[in-house]
Amino acid sequence: MSLKTNFSKLDLECGTDEAGRGCLAGPVTASAVILPDNFRNSALNDSKQLSEKKRESLKPIIESNAISFAVHHIFEEEIDSINILNASILAMHKSIELLMPQPNFIIVDGNRFKPYQSIPHETIIKGDSKFLSIAAASVLAKTHRDAYMAKIHEEFPMYNWKKNKGYPTKEHRLAIKKYGTTKYHRKSFRLLPEQLKLEL
Which CATH number does the domain housing residue 83 bear? 3.30.420.10
Distance, in Å, from the CA atom of 172 to the CA atom of 161, rounded to the nearest integer, reads 8
Domain presence at residue 95 = yes
3-state helix, strand, coil in the chain (%, to 5): 40, 20, 40
170 in a domain, yes or no?
Answer: no
Total number of domains in the chain: 1
DSSP H helices in 9-116: 52-65, 76-82, 84-97
**192 lies in a domain?**
no
The tens place of each residue's pLDDT in the chain, 200 residues long, gives: 579 989 998 999 999 999 999 999 999 999 999 999 999 998 998 778 899 999 999 999 999 999 999 999 999 999 999 999 999 999 999 999 999 999 999 999 999 999 999 999 999 999 999 999 999 999 999 999 999 999 999 999 999 999 999 999 999 999 999 999 999 999 999 888 764 554 43
In a domain, 111, yes or no: yes
Range of the domain at 114: 13-153
What pTM does this model have?
0.94
Q: What is the per-residue pLDDT for 194?
A: 61
Q: In this predicted structure, what is the pLDDT of residue 192? A: 85
Q: Is residue 89 part of a domain?
A: yes
Output b/e per residue, 12-29; b: 16+ Cβ within 10 A: bbbbbbbbbeebbbbbbb
φ, ψ for residue 185, nearest 5 deg? -80, 145
Q: Output the pLDDT for position 158.
A: 97
Looking at residue 199, what is its pLDDT? 44
In a domain, 199, yes or no: no
- Decide if 79 is inside a domain: yes
Q: To which H or E segment does residue 105 belong? A: strand 105-109
Residue 184 located in a structural domain: no
